[in-house]
């Protein structure tokens, strides 16, 4: 299976640069995964597509202000550091630009020395292990100095940091937002609960592995970076009960989908627990838990296009994306949504 098979043409002006004022006013494409039939709606009308007994599974991770701008202490040269994941205590795996000048032993300074980092090791794919030193509480310093790590295709400045967080974000740890969840408001979630749909929360801290370009020609040769997930006992029981009683398990976002599929066994049972997952879902994969998926429109030739193609079929997905381009949908993180069911 070739990566080129998941390509499509996208006019640059359809890449959303800003979140719209009302989260739930995004457009919503409805795709029937069996027939390929397409309908058009507005996100807040998703209540019409849900049924009592369904279970909506959301990812409650919280994006940290992981982008740090500073200098190399020895030369004063500019440096940009993106925190990818905490390895141990004050040691993080990071992405550094320019990487060539961040050799082991290099000391980096942020906020006039309020935060310092020493490069300890060059890791896989050129990432750096950095140990930070500071006075006070790391999270408070990061909130003061860090910026939201918006994807490189977003060129506009984000005025309100909260617009790159879901309304149910709880646990710090992500380098990118689970963007399918950005369309929900507390009011809409309240409506959904009132109609008898369970809303269950899992956690997957989103790294950059999900968004890295696929550099191989053959899909099967691509390796995903691992990400930390957590499913607690109460959530597992809620989801398993909904399934036993005939409800659909609807994942909000590819991160929720990957967590559910990672923590489920072949018998269709979700197990509580935590760990690291590098699951790679592409056509041919047999879903164990997820019946439907709420998701945004993804980059051409990305692992996310492959995941949605595994659920709905490559031909149906590419046809839906062509329709989205024709209908001038907004693409990527701040863009419109799709329900595959």
Contact 313, 283 (CB under 8 A): yes
Domains and CATH numbers, the chain: 3-63+160-340 (3.40.1780.10), 67-145 (2.40.10.240)
CA pair distance 319, 322, nearest whole angstrom:
5
Q: From CA 153, how far away is CA 339, in angstroms rounded?
A: 24
pLDDT 10s digit of each residue in the chain, 341 long? 999 999 999 999 999 999 999 999 999 999 999 999 999 999 999 999 999 999 999 999 999 999 999 999 999 999 999 998 899 999 999 999 998 889 999 999 999 999 999 999 999 788 999 999 999 999 999 999 999 988 888 999 888 989 999 999 999 999 999 999 999 999 999 999 999 999 999 999 998 766 567 889 999 899 888 899 999 999 999 999 999 999 999 999 999 999 999 999 999 999 999 999 999 999 999 999 999 999 999 999 999 999 999 999 999 999 999 999 999 999 999 999 999 99
CA atoms within 13 A on the CB side of 214: 26
| Residue 161: CB atoms within 10 Å | 13
Q: Which residues contact 215 (CB under 8 A, 6 or more apart)?
A: 222
Phi, psi dihedrals of residue 2, rounded to the nearest 5° = -95, 145
**∠ CA 325-293-202 to the nearest 5 degrees?**
130
What DSSP character marks residue 94? E
Cα→Cα distances 160→70, 174, 216, 260, 299, Å:
22, 18, 37, 31, 24
Buried/exposed 105-141: b ≥16 CB within 10 Å, e otherwise: ebebbbeeeebbbbbeeeeeeebbbbbbebeeeeeeb
CA gap 22, 230 in Å, rounded:
30
* 341 closest CA partner among 58, 72, 38, 104: 38
pTM of the model: 0.93
β-strand 273-277 against 227-231: which pairing, if any?
antiparallel
Reading the block at residue 248, the tokens are 């659909």
Please, are residues 312 and 323 in contact by the beta-carbon 8 Å criterion?
no
């Amino acid at each position: 299976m070739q990566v080129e098979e998941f390509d499509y043409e996208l006019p640059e002006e359809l890449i959303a640069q800003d979140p719209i004022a009302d989260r739930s006013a995004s457009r919503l494409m409805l795709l029937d995964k069996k027939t390929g039939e397409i309908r058009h709606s507005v996100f807040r009308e998703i209540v019409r597509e849900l049924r009592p007994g369904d279970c909506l599974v959301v990812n409650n991770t919280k994006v940290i202000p992981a982008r740090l701008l500073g200098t190399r202490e020895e030369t004063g040269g500019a440096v940009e550091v993106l925190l990818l994941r905490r390895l141990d205590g004050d040691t993080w795996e990071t992405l550094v630009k320019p990487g060539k000048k961040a050799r082991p032993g290099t000391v980096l300074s942020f906020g006039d020395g309020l935060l310092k980092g020493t490069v300890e090791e060059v890791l896989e794919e050129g990432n750096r292990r950095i140990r930070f030193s500071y006075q006070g509480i790391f999270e408070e310093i990061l909130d003061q100095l860090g910026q939201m790590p918006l994807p490189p295709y977003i060129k506009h400045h984000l005025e309100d940091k909260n617009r790159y967080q879901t309304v149910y974000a709880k646990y710090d740890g992500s380098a990118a937002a689970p963007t399918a969840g950005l369309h929900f408001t507390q009011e809409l979630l309240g409506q959904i609960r009132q109609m008898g749909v369970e809303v269950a929360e899992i956690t997957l801290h989103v790294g950059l592995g999900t968004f890295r370009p696929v550099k191989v020609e053959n899909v099967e040769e691509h390796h995903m970076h691992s990400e930390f997930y957590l499913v607690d006992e109460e959530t597992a029981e809620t989801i398993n009960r909904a399934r036993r009683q005939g409800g659909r398990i609807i994942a909000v976002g590819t991160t929720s989908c990957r967590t559910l599929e990672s923590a489920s066994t072949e018998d269709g049972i979700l197990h509580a627990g935590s760990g690291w997952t590098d699951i790679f879902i592409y056509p041919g994969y047999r879903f164990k838990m997820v019946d439907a998926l709420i998701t945004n429109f993804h980059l051409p030739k990305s692992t996310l296009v492959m995941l949605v193609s595994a659920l709905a079929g490559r031909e149906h997905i590419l046809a839906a994306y062509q329709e989205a381009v024709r209908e001038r949908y907004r693409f990527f993180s701040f863009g419109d949504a799709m329900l595959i069911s």
